[in-house]
Structure 1
Amino acid sequence: MTIMRRPLAKRIMLISGIALLLILTASAGYGWYLYRSVEQTVVRMYEPIESDEPDAGIGNPEGRKRPERLPLAQRDKEQQPFTVLIMGIDERPGDPGRSDTLIVISVNPDKEEALLFNIPRDTRTEIVGRGVADKINHAHAFGGVKMTVETVERFLDYPIDYYMKVNMEGFVALIDLLGGVEVNNTFAFDNSGYHFDKGVIQLQGEEALSFSRMRYEDPRGDLGRNERQRAVIRAIMDKTLTFSNVTQVNKVLDQVAGYVKTNMTFDEMKTFLFHYRPRIKTISSTEIKGSGTRIGGIYYYQVDGAERDRIHKLLAEHQTGGDG
């Protein structure tokens, strides 16, 4: 497991996306007017799922009862940990979309640490509700957020408390609104008619989307693409933090509300940023190990039982200090 010691604000914003940044921005001096705009934006982003009802037991294997989800403010009083699933969705008109990116985050204030890891999109696992094994990123196309959360829970054998869904297409308009972003590219490549030089490069919206999606020319495949997606998100964070024009900020808020959905309420976001974040001193990460295989002519990322047990134990111990 890798331990990354970086400034917490940047790392948490990188992981959690633009929606959480909005609360921090509002607190940095834009005043009551912007605070109210942020609150209204989060209300537009709020989208609960059926499984948010107490004792729903979604996605868990038989015999494992899902604990009741306490509001984050109540968790805060008891310093309880929580989990978040970040979904980057390639969603277009008339198409429910597949999840390009799945990032699991475990936050434990008692340990002063957050744990994060990607689930490769081609991972072969049971799709809950369909009774068949398929690529994990197909769950969203079959059953949206609910089926994705259930499938991830089954794969990890551990409950997910919150989700945040980000429409990858929404990055284009947002990045153009920001005037482009700057990233450091580790190697030169071509994708979708664009050429990307090695080194620090400037990207507009469509270029950034192409940059973040490329994987076939990357020797690390999905893992390399995940790194580029995180680089673009971080660049958006850095650019947004430089805003001083309230009118421009409101344009960004409107854009964000159109492509981010979450079951985290405004009060819960505030609790996370103002009460949990200061307690987290380190961010640890791991990669899910597996191997590529073809079944029926289709490529899958195969994760064996031992590796799934390792990831489950790592997550359970990070959340509870035990074996879950």
Structure 2
Amino acid sequence: MKKKVLLWIGGIIGVVLIGAGAYAYNVYNKVSKTLEGVHQPLEREASPKRTEQPSIKQAAPISILLMGSDPRGDERGRSDSLILITLNPTLKSMKMVSIPRDTYTEIVGKGIKDKINHAYAFGGVEMSVNTVENFLDVPIDHYIEVNMEGFKDIVNAVGGVDVNNDLAFTQDNHTFAKGPIHLNGDEALAYSRMRKQDPRGDFGRQMRQRQVIQAVIKKGANVSSLANYGSILTAIQKNVKTSLTQEQMFEIQQNYREVRNSNEEIQIEGKGQMMNNIWYYVVPEQSRQELSKKLREHLALPVQ
């Protein structure tokens, strides 16, 4: 009798383990297909700002350009937000530099000076990466492009996000109270787009964008989100492109997880200026060089 009971219990455990294994395989299989679908490498093999490509497998310091694109109909649109992230696993730290979209700089490959977000309209991801790289004089090893209009699908897929709002305002028919608030997809998009009512202008908007992005990452990394992994993967596949391969993403998750222990958010110093009746954000050369030095040191590169 005892033997039959043990066999019965063992059978139940076996069924559960097989089911769990099948579920895990199904999740892994769908994740792999999604990551393969969003992979879109840069045309260049490596950054001209490096002598050799850094190894993610060996946990070398790396940089990633996060771009929020704003397509309009059949047009490519502009990069609505630009955030350069540098990761140094040895120092267990990361730096996030929000680049004002009106920053006046050379558009690499176009031969003109213009607003930095126009690089995307002129030449897509390639021109944006080359332009930001030239402006900051640091290598950009990888990029992640997110369709901002579709970003709301990702927020909804993780069940919404929680942020701490420091300014009460209304945007796109959504009212946001001051203090801790929960945002669904549409609300998160409106929240991250507002800048005209903020006395900090574009810097306030950049701060809210970072809040939402960090909240999505935190929520998506939570084990409870696995229950809705199908919706999350669908939203990612529709709205994200990146030069990172599946293997590199897993290696970053494994080798760079402690960089979140120290996160510095950097604001680029400059001032607004009218030129030919167009408003630009002009960054003094000294400020640009000081920022470049700081980022190069964090990437363990020679300071020029």
Distance in 2 (alpha carbons) for counterparts of 1:206 and 1:283? 27
1:41 aligns with 2:34: yes
Give me the identity figure in percent: 43
TM-superposed CA distance for 1:322, in Å, is 3.5
Contact preservation (8 Å) 1:243, 1:249 = no
1:151 aligns with 2:131: yes
Q: 1:70 to 1:278 in 2, by over 3 A?
A: same
Q: 1:111 to 1:321 in 2, by over 3 A?
A: farther
TM-superposed CA distance for 1:179, in Å, is 4.5
Q: 1:198 to 1:301 in 2, by over 3 A?
A: same
Q: How does 1:97-136 map to 2 (within 5 A)?
A: 97-136=77-116
Deviation track 1:224-265 (CA, whole Å, cap 9, x = no partner) reads: 111111222233334434564756211211111111111011
TM-score by length of structure 2 reads: 0.85
TM-superposed CA distance for 1:276, in Å, is 2.6
Structure 2 counterpart SS, 1:307: helix
Aligned to 1:297: 277
Contact preservation (8 Å) 1:90, 1:167 = yes
Distance in 1 (alpha carbons) for counterparts of 2:225 and 2:94? 33
Contact preservation (8 Å) 1:71, 1:268 = no
Contact preservation (8 Å) 2:54, 2:62 = no
Aligned with 2:144 (options 151, 164, 179) = 164
Q: 1:41 to 1:218 in 2, by over 3 A?
A: same
TM-superposed CA distance for 1:285, in Å, is 3.1
Distance in 2 (alpha carbons) for counterparts of 1:305 and 1:115? 21
TM-score by length of structure 1 reads: 0.80
Higher relative contact order (CA 8 A, sep 6+): 1
Structure 1: where are the runs of 5+ without partners?
1-29, 58-64
Structure 1 counterpart SS, 2:269: coil
Aligned to 2:183: 203
How much is the aligned-residue C-alpha RMSD, in angstroms?
2.1
Structure 2 counterpart SS, 1:50: coil
TM-superposed CA distance for 1:284, in Å, is 2.6
Distance in 1 (alpha carbons) for counterparts of 2:261 and 2:155? 30
Distance in 2 (alpha carbons) for counterparts of 1:279 and 1:246? 24
Aligned with 1:229 (options 200, 205, 209) = 209
Aligned with 1:308 (options 276, 288, 302) = 288
Deviates more, 1:226-235 or 1:81-90: 226-235
